[in-house]
Amino acid sequence: MLKIRTAHRPRPFAARLESRTESTPIARQLLRAYLAALPTGDRYSDTAELLLGELFANAVQHTADAPTDRLIEVRFALTGDHRLRLEVHDAGTGRPSLHTPTPDDEHGRGVLLVNELAEKWGCCPRAGGVGKFVWALCAPAPAPTPATFLTV
């Protein structure tokens, strides 16, 4: 019998973390571990870590209206078209909005960074009607080209 080998897509990953600033590096560490298991995970790492850090930090900062026992959930998945989908779920009611901060603003650049770095991003209500999730698609960086040597 002939066995046909099919491409294996990695399983999605999800974890729940405390809604605290100190959880942001933990979320990035979980993403690094997920990407390390992918054959081309290094092609996403820099941009994906920055995107996830911004999304998670925004969730912590802007969920003051959520109950204090609510956790923030992160999800990572590789899509069929080789995009990395990042999601951050929280119980807050606020929605991210894109605006241009003034030079004196000490905050307000996170969504601007997400808008510039993500291939696409958006915000959706969560199933069950409590809170929302913000998602971003991260395209892989181009594969490095092999070095060419000139002979003289």
Residues in the chain: 152
Q: pLDDT tens for residues 45-77?
A: 999 999 999 999 999 988 777 777 889 999 999
CA dihedral (138, 125, 28, 116) positive or negative: positive
Please report whether residue 82 resides in a domain.
Answer: yes
| CATH of residue 31 | 3.30.565.10
Specify the DSSP element, H or E, that contains 32: helix 24-36
CA dist 127 and 147 (Å) reads 49
CA 47 – CA 139 distance, rounded (Å): 9
Could you tell me the pLDDT band of residue 107, with boundaries at 50, 70 and 90?
low
Query: What's the pLDDT band for 4 if we cut at 50, 70, 90?
Result: very low
The answer to whether position 118 is within a domain reads yes
Residue 36: inside a domain: yes
Query: pTM of the prediction?
Result: 0.84
Kindly report the backbone phi and psi dihedral angles of residue 29, in degrees, each rounded to the nearest multiple of 5, phi listed first. -65, -40
Residue 15 to residues 4, 7, 124, Cα–Cα distance (Å): 34, 25, 19
For residue 66, what are the domain limits?
13-94+105-138
Question: Is residue 90 a part of any domain in this protein?
Answer: yes
The closest alpha carbon to 53, from 37, 72, 81, belongs to 72
Query: How many structural domains are present in the chain?
Result: 1
